[in-house]
Amino acid sequence: MEHVDVLVIGGGAAGLYAAMTAGRRGRRAVVIEHANRVGKKILMSGGGRCNFTNTGTTPENYLCGNPHFCKSALARHTPWHFIELVERHRIAYHEKELGQLFCDESSKLIVRMLVDECTSAGVRIETSCSVERVAHRDDGQFELHTTHGAFVATSLVVASGGLSIPSMGASGFGYELARQFGHALLPTRAGLVPLTLSGKHHERLAELSGVALPVVATCNGQSFENFMLVTHRGVSGPSILQISSYWQPGDALTLDLLPGVDAYEALFGWQKARPAAEFKTVLGDAMPKRFAQRLCEVYLPHGPHTRPLRQYTPAQLRAIADVLQAWPLVASGTEGYRTAEVTLGGVDTDGVSSSTMQSRLVPGLYFVGEVLDVTGWLGGYNFQWAWASGHAAGLAA
Ligand code: FDA
């Protein structure tokens, strides 16, 4: 039985950061990772370039049952702290858009940086190591039986992530462990995930697969302006991934297909400027032609839209504008955990200290990263939560 100070279950973003932070304080930390290498999600993130933080991070960029929960950790470990580490390791990066920072070269550099930091902080990493049993002893210590032997520690950090991308090592282990220790769980579902369409909604759009256009996606009071991409199964692209975290089957979801434009003013203006042009042709100049054509064929009222613009009455233009500005997208579901970037829900934050990530029920037990009911928007916010929550736990564990 090996005695250490801190055991971290999960060698992903949050677990490595927690272990590194604890190790720097002189704590003997061991990371238990069941996959054959650490940081697999970091490696595949950001298209292989890891969108490692967002300089505009605020608590408003997160979904959580308690909107105040993430404030303390985010305030104490900001994007600038992580950027400082990245710069110290001479990793070149750039801002893509909206404060999103990516590696110039490869996500591998971020994993290497974290592993190097762990090594210099004396952290031991056990890969291909499965946890068989976790026990809480009468003396308050945690006993972990693994395929690499048994460990005893005063602190146990659960950093096993969520359910997305099971082929990358995702497991429900953290949730089961939380339940074992009496923690409440909020229902989990896939987030930042493409939406699927079915029946006539699918048939009408499927052949436009590959078409992308800017939209404002709105659902349950939340809006995101960015690109939408039509896929074979439904719709994706950043605006759809973002809104998917706010959508559940049955919820109304609308798309403004002319973002930043008053559609009625635009239609009226086009009518004045090009009265003899076909409506379909003019709309095709404002968005991808194939998409405009399909809208004209099946979605917009007062067709056929092969008529010249001068034949439309103001009331007809108004009705068409209303659809262009709030086109109802009837999604049937999501692509699920297979392609989701994150898992919504998880360990209820009511049972966890927001400053240390320590369980309020079991002293010495910590939860960090995605296993908690904290989910960021697309754009580097999820890694920032992993670093910030890992840091908070690493300082306390
Ligand atoms: P994470 O999933 O990283 O790590 C958990 C670790 O625990 C894994 O290594 C897993 O193998 C291990 N584990 C699980 N069960 C275990 C068990 N029983 N025993 C031992 N080990 C166990 N975010 C962002 O901010 N910017 C981005 O660019 C992207 N891009 C992106 C792309 C793709 C394709 C996905 C799927 C996700 C993203 N994300 C992202 C989200 C981001 O990857 C995610 O939020 C963090 O990795 C969460 O960090 P955690 O450490 O909590 O979990």
Q: How far is the CA of 297 from the centre of ligand 1 (A)?
A: 43
Region of 188 on the Ramachandran plot (φ > 0 left; ψ -120 to 50 alpha; else beta) = beta
380 lines ligand 1 (CB under 6 A): yes
Q: Give the pLDDT of residue 124.
A: 98
Q: How far is the CA of 342 from the centre of ligand 1 (A)?
A: 8
Q: Give the pLDDT of residue 167.
A: 82
Atom number of ligand 1 nearest to Cα 49: 28
Atom number of ligand 1 nearest to Cα 160: 7
Q: Token pair for residue 69?
A: 């929960």
Give CA–CA dist 258/248, Å, rounded. Answer: 25
Q: Give the pLDDT of residue 219.
A: 98
34 lines ligand 1 (CB under 6 A): yes
10 lines ligand 1 (CB under 6 A): yes
Q: How far is the CA of 42 from the centre of ligand 1 (A)?
A: 7
9 lines ligand 1 (CB under 6 A): yes
110 lines ligand 1 (CB under 6 A): no
Q: How far is the CA of 34 from the centre of ligand 1 (A)?
A: 13
Q: Whose CA is nearest to atom 32 of ligand 1?
A: 45
Q: Whose CA is nearest to atom 25 of ligand 1?
A: 380
Pairing relationship of beta strands 365-367 and 149-158 according to DSSP bridges = parallel
Q: Give the pLDDT of residue 39.
A: 97
375 lines ligand 1 (CB under 6 A): no
32 lines ligand 1 (CB under 6 A): yes
Q: Whose CA is nearest to atom 9 of ligand 1?
A: 12
pTM: 0.97
Atom number of ligand 1 nearest to Cα 39: 9
Pocket test for ligand 1, best of 82, 341, 375 (most atoms within 8 A of CB): 341
Pocket test for ligand 1, best of 160, 173, 391 (most atoms within 8 A of CB): 160
Closest CA to 125 of 49, 38, 67, 51: 38
Give CA–CA dist 82/80, Å, rounded. Answer: 5
79 lines ligand 1 (CB under 6 A): no
Q: Whose CA is nearest to atom 12 of ligand 1?
A: 10
ipTM of this complex prediction, to 2 decimal places: 0.99
Give CA–CA dist 88/108, Å, rounded. Answer: 16
Q: Give the pLDDT of residue 166.
A: 84
54 lines ligand 1 (CB under 6 A): no
Mean of per-residue pLDDT scores for the chain? 97
The per-residue pLDDT for range 47-80, each reduced to its tens digit, is 999 999 999 999 999 999 999 999 999 999 999 9
193 lines ligand 1 (CB under 6 A): no
Spans of the chain, pLDDT less than 50 = none
219 lines ligand 1 (CB under 6 A): no
Q: Give the pLDDT of residue 246.
A: 98
Closest CA to 164 of 394, 395, 5, 378: 378
Burial 313-352 (b: 16+ CB within 10 A, else e): eeeebeebbebbbebebebebbbebebbbbbbbbbbbebb
